[in-house]
Amino acid sequence: MGTGQRENSAGAAPQGWSSLHDRWLAGLLGLLFFLLYLRTAAPSIVALFDDTLEFQLVLPTFGIAHPTGYPLYTLVGGLWSHLLLAGNWAWRVNLFSAAAAAAAVAVLSMASTALLRAEGLRGPRWGGVAAAATFALGPVWWQQATVAEVYALHNLLVALILLRAFTLDFASPVRRNRQLALLLALVGFGLTHHRTTLLLVPGLAVYLVWRQPALLRPQRVWLLWLAALLAPLLLYGYLPWRFAQGVSDLHGSYLPTWNGFWAHVLATQYGSFFTANELSRSYSALHWLQHWIQQGGGVGSLLSLLGLASLIRARCWPAWSLLLLVLAANLLFTLVYQVGDPEVFLLPALLAAALLAGRGLAALHQLLAGRLASWQAALATAGVLLLVVGGAGRGAPVDRSADWALHDYAADLATVDFPPQSLVIGLEGEMTALRYMQQAEGLGLAATPVVADAPERRRARLADAVASGKPVYLTREVEGIESLYSFSGEGPLIRVWPRGRSPAVPPTTRTDLLLLDGQLLLEGYDLKRLDWRGGAVLRMVLHWYPLAPLDLDLKVSLRVVDSQQKVLTLADGTPAANDATPLRQVARTPTWASETPVRDVYEVRLPTANADAHLLLILYDAHTLQEAGRLQMALP
């Protein structure tokens, strides 16, 4: 009995009606998850040292991304960021991930329903909802849906390829040929985005030949299929085109030569990640099992196993062989590819497992058909609700909507009062944050970011800059420079001066507090409240004047305390305090030049209003913890 006969004999509506309602259901699921991802999306930049920050700058500026270049993502995401007029650049690109992720969930639901309907199983829509809930709420996927990353779009393309494969009309050669052309075009677009699309090819080849061996016979339509596959790859022409317009990638890895183009597109330097990578993380089999369960929860994992067991029993192999080969290929790749975030490469395998979970719920629905018919809908609803809630083992929900810390840092970095021709030397992520603020917000334009990841390179660039007389700033410490220069704090940066030549700047509030038996004078301080997006912060600038070489390695403790000297807590339960080394660890106190002023900057987060609150500063020996002095101040 055919699928349509089985549905009609059971009183179901015709296939056209079912397909329409399947699409409406998928659209509703996509909308619901889009609203969830929108609500929990990161509001701005959220990381310094991964690809997220790069994409938040590259897409709105139509730049060149790191290998493999990601031209499809850059072009579509760039257009999205320009058409969406609300919000900052980073949030717009984050929202693009949310939209792509929600679309992937909708397509996944349609693919599950199509598979189950083709088998004539009862409750195919329940299976579609189960597949969507299993995958869409996985913590790794949810995280990728809330930041600017390539994996939401990649898995949308994976889901589209699977859906197109599952719904090929092999009965009509004309329609089959057109549909195969579309399928191969989707594969081509996948290859212009993420090269792991190749992991789908073995499964697709087995599936297509299994369903119709005559496809192997040479025929003229092969030219159409080949053209459909290769035409999207022309998008890689975007890279030399943009370079010719004066655009270079942030890493400086793209070279405008034939060999340079192919090295970038094929990411040849990443081939070593199959053998070694200093940033890789190695996990045990138990860890991977726990991670797998966290993504779908105990309920989703059990439904996947039930779906696999029912599949083996039913022996419905062609379409499911494609799915299992996709799962196996991506799982194997994840296990052998040595990177710092292997979990993201597991997502297509988890997508395939979610389709198995949909089959598991449909099989359970079928099993209960003749026994607990009146309870079928209630039990299916309970199963879906358990998936949504998470069930045992599901990882924690993701909510990055209040994650403003890196945005505040980048804005603070870019609002330093830079003199003309200033140089800022730091790590690549820090300099990308500065570039983002310069191009997205128009801040810090007098500064030139200088990327120097290696300490020896930072040391060399610093020496050249000081010798040239240009204003130069550091984002972090560099070993071996403490006794060569003098330093002053400027917001989150440290300005570097020729030894003994840092200028004197009068403090707003004078204290003239003499410490360490006359070795160190605290001339005064400046206090300023900063209302950052992530919450109020108090910035304190201490004006030191060493009268003699300092013997002690000092640290500063800033505490917001009440009238009983008890440290107050913030909304998240952490203390409103900051213990730090002076000059952000660039130069410890024993290296300070005598009779040379030192401006020293600190921040402490402020708790909610408290009438009795005030600021307590304690200076102490970093090694013995013995107090060297204290000062109490009113909050501004």
Segment 122-150, tens digit of pLDDT: 778 888 998 999 999 999 999 999 999 99
Give the whole-number percent of the chain exceeding pLDDT 90.
Answer: 75
Of 362, 389, 416, the last residue of a domain is 389
Residue-level pLDDT at 269: 81
Looking at the domain assignment, is residue 463 inside a domain?
Answer: no
pLDDT tens for 283-316 read 888 988 999 999 988 888 989 999 999 888 777 7
Find the farthest-apart pair of alpha carbons in the chain and give their distance in angstroms, rounded: 99
**Whether the predicted pLDDT of 14 surpasses 50:** no
Q: Which residue has the tokens 């140089």?
A: 423
**Whether the predicted pLDDT of 29 surpasses 70:** yes
- Same domain for 168 and 296? yes
Read off the pTM: 0.90
**Whether the predicted pLDDT of 335 surpasses 70:** yes
Residue-level pLDDT at 348: 97
Of 343, 373, 389, the last residue of a domain is 389
How far CA 381 is from CA of 34, 120, 365, 388, in Å, comes to 21, 20, 11, 11
Residue-level pLDDT at 15: 42
For residue 275, is the peptide bond before it cis, meaning its omega torsion is within 30 degrees of 0? no
Asked if 572 contacts 560 with a C-beta cutoff of 8 angstroms, the reply is: no
Residue-level pLDDT at 192: 97
Helices (H), ranges, 368-454: 376-389, 405-414, 428-436
Looking at the domain assignment, is residue 234 inside a domain?
Answer: no
Residue 188 is encoded by which pair of tokens?
């081509």
CA dihedral (135, 140, 141, 143) positive or negative: positive
- Same domain for 33 and 162? yes
Rounded CA gap, 635 and 290, in Å?
A: 48
- Average pLDDT (236-259) is 92
Residue 212 is encoded by which pair of tokens?
């119709």
Looking at the domain assignment, is residue 5 inside a domain?
Answer: no
Please tell me the least confidently modeled range out of 7-11, 277-281, 293-297, 311-315: 7-11
- Average pLDDT (367-386) is 61
At residue 2, what is the residue type?
Answer: G
Rounded CA gap, 51 and 65, in Å?
A: 9
At residue 147, what is the residue type?
Answer: V
Looking at the domain assignment, is residue 329 inside a domain?
Answer: yes
Looking at the domain assignment, is residue 190 inside a domain?
Answer: no
Residue-level pLDDT at 120: 77
Rounded CA gap, 183 and 165, in Å?
A: 7
Of 389, 422, 450, the last residue of a domain is 389
Rounded CA gap, 558 and 613, in Å?
A: 13
- Average pLDDT (83-97) is 95
- Same domain for 385 and 515? no
Asked if 440 contacts 461 with a C-beta cutoff of 8 angstroms, the reply is: no
**Whether the predicted pLDDT of 81 surpasses 90:** yes
pLDDT tens for 189-206 read 999 999 999 999 999 999
Residue 292 is encoded by which pair of tokens?
């797998």
Q: Which has the closest alpha carbon to 487: 547, 557, 546?
A: 546
pLDDT tens for 570-611 read 988 899 999 999 999 999 999 999 999 999 999 999 998 777
**Whether the predicted pLDDT of 226 surpasses 60:** yes
Rounded CA gap, 156 and 450, in Å?
A: 37
Pairing of strands 577-580, 614-621: unpaired
- Average pLDDT (253-277) is 83
Rounded CA gap, 508 and 327, in Å?
A: 64
Helices (H), ranges, 120-172: 124-136, 139-144, 151-166
Residue 392's pLDDT band, with cuts at 50, 70 and 90, is low
- Average pLDDT (168-180) is 93
**Whether the predicted pLDDT of 6 surpasses 50:** no
- Same domain for 383 and 519? no
Q: Is 252 left (phi over 0), alpha (psi -120 to 50) or beta?
A: left
- Same domain for 304 and 163? yes
Domain that holds residue 512: 505-636
Rounded CA gap, 583 and 604, in Å?
A: 15
Residue-level pLDDT at 373: 53
Residue-level pLDDT at 10: 31
Burial track 557-571 (b if 16+ CB lie within 10 A, e otherwise): bbbbbeeeeeebeee
Residue 232 is encoded by which pair of tokens?
């999207």
Residue-level pLDDT at 173: 92
Residue-level pLDDT at 617: 97
Residue 386 is encoded by which pair of tokens?
């358990």
Residue 182 is encoded by which pair of tokens?
């579309």
Pairing of strands 614-621, 627-634: antiparallel
How many Cβ atoms are within 10 Å of 508's Cβ, its own excluded?
A: 12
Residue 18 is encoded by which pair of tokens?
């079912």
Residue-level pLDDT at 300: 87
Residue 466's pLDDT band, with cuts at 50, 70 and 90, is very high
**Whether the predicted pLDDT of 533 surpasses 60:** yes
- Average pLDDT (315-328) is 89
Looking at the domain assignment, is residue 200 inside a domain?
Answer: no
- Determine the 3-state secondary structure of 450 from DSSP: strand
The number of domains in the chain is 2
Residue 383's pLDDT band, with cuts at 50, 70 and 90, is low
Q: Which residue has the tokens 């057109």?
A: 178
Looking at the domain assignment, is residue 287 inside a domain?
Answer: yes
What residues pair up with 496 in beta bridges, in sequence order? 472, 487
Rounded CA gap, 264 and 254, in Å?
A: 6
Asked if 110 contacts 42 with a C-beta cutoff of 8 angstroms, the reply is: no
What would the 3-class secondary structure string for 494-527 be? EEEEECCCCCCCCCCEEEEEEECCCCEEEEEEEE
Residue 502 is encoded by which pair of tokens?
């840092």
- Average pLDDT (339-368) is 89
Helices (H), ranges, 271-404: 285-314, 317-336, 347-367, 376-389
Among 358-367, 382-391, 527-536, top mean pLDDT goes to: 527-536
Residue-level pLDDT at 253: 85
Looking at the domain assignment, is residue 137 inside a domain?
Answer: yes
Give the whole-number percent of the chain exceeding pLDDT 70.
Answer: 91
Asked if 393 contacts 302 with a C-beta cutoff of 8 angstroms, the reply is: no
CA 557 to centroid of chain Cα atoms: 34
Residue 497 is encoded by which pair of tokens?
């001066």
Mean pLDDT, the chain, whole residue set: 90
**CATH number assigned to the domain comprising residue 587:** 2.60.40.10
Q: Which residue has the tokens 């829509």?
A: 125
**Whether the predicted pLDDT of 377 surpasses 70:** no
What residues pair up with 429 in beta bridges, in sequence order? none
Higher per-residue pLDDT: 270 or 33:
33
Residue 118's pLDDT band, with cuts at 50, 70 and 90, is confident
pLDDT tens for 397-438 read 999 999 999 999 999 999 999 999 999 999 999 999 999 999
Among 372-381, 562-571, 604-613, top mean pLDDT goes to: 562-571
Residue 612's pLDDT band, with cuts at 50, 70 and 90, is confident
Residue-level pLDDT at 17: 43
- Same domain for 141 and 285? yes
- Average pLDDT (102-110) is 97
**Whether the predicted pLDDT of 455 surpasses 80:** yes
Rounded CA gap, 146 and 95, in Å?
A: 7
Enter the DSSP assignment of 566: P
Helices 317-336 and 201-211 meet at what angle, rounded to 10?
A: 160
